[in-house]
Structure 1
């Protein structure tokens, strides 16, 4: 009996459990892993909490922090506003976009430099493209003015906006009632 007891004590009992030690080579001890995970999570929460402990600052500092948080939401909401205005008032939107087409390329580059500087990016431009885009913008002025005139002529309050002109077939087509298959079928079912 002493021999079996000694073998079982070596394998399962005492300070060194051979089976446990062998299994832990291939599989993590769940209890020890949970303790390590709790320690890591506690340290992370302590670090995150320390980031939000800000010393009291004056009114000017709080105002400037608020002001620095405005550009990104303003750009995002302004872009969404442009989409909404394009759907709600397309003629108004088209007139504004024609006006934007007149903005010379150097001003767009300047705006890009300002915005990219604000957001910490670098902006580079090439001298040949700079001159070419200025000439291109200026050459589009007559076309833009013509487009604005055509857009304004499309307004619903313009005189004779729906005029059929000398097209007799179109005029006849606008004055004759057209058939409605669903209405005809409903009227047949009621008879």
Structure 2
């Protein structure tokens, strides 16, 4: 019989910080530039991304894909460098095709060693977010109708007054400073 380790003391969940914007604003591009800057500051970063469409991380013809198509859920694929777990939500109670809720997804993320969880999407969920705004896309600002937005990152000056910190979308170092000095120090 194997003795399993006792549960470690409950650790506080790391803070969530979202990046909310309309499609095409550059959320992923910014996060790809921002994450290395945060890692340079010795932060361990997790990320949850909301996809608005069906996606496969394994491709047709691959063993993991065939096993999932055969009905296995979850399917874990492990190598010496990566681990991926795929849950087929159609096999679960999600057949009503509702948009996934962030709170329902968080328990699947091992947060024990994380300092911060960045979230791309889930813009209508109630948690702290930085709005990304490009006036050239002719989309409305989100902050007037979302009390959870804590800052706005934009590539040009805003046409209206904004009671929140306004950051330069093209300067990820400035956004990293805001996250470390203003958001995480609360």
Please classify the TM superposition score into its range, dividing by the shorter chain length.
under 0.3
Q: Which has the larger radius of gyration?
A: 1
More strand by share: 2
Q: TM-score, normalised by structure 1?
A: 0.22
Higher RCO (Cα < 8 Å, 6 or more apart): 2
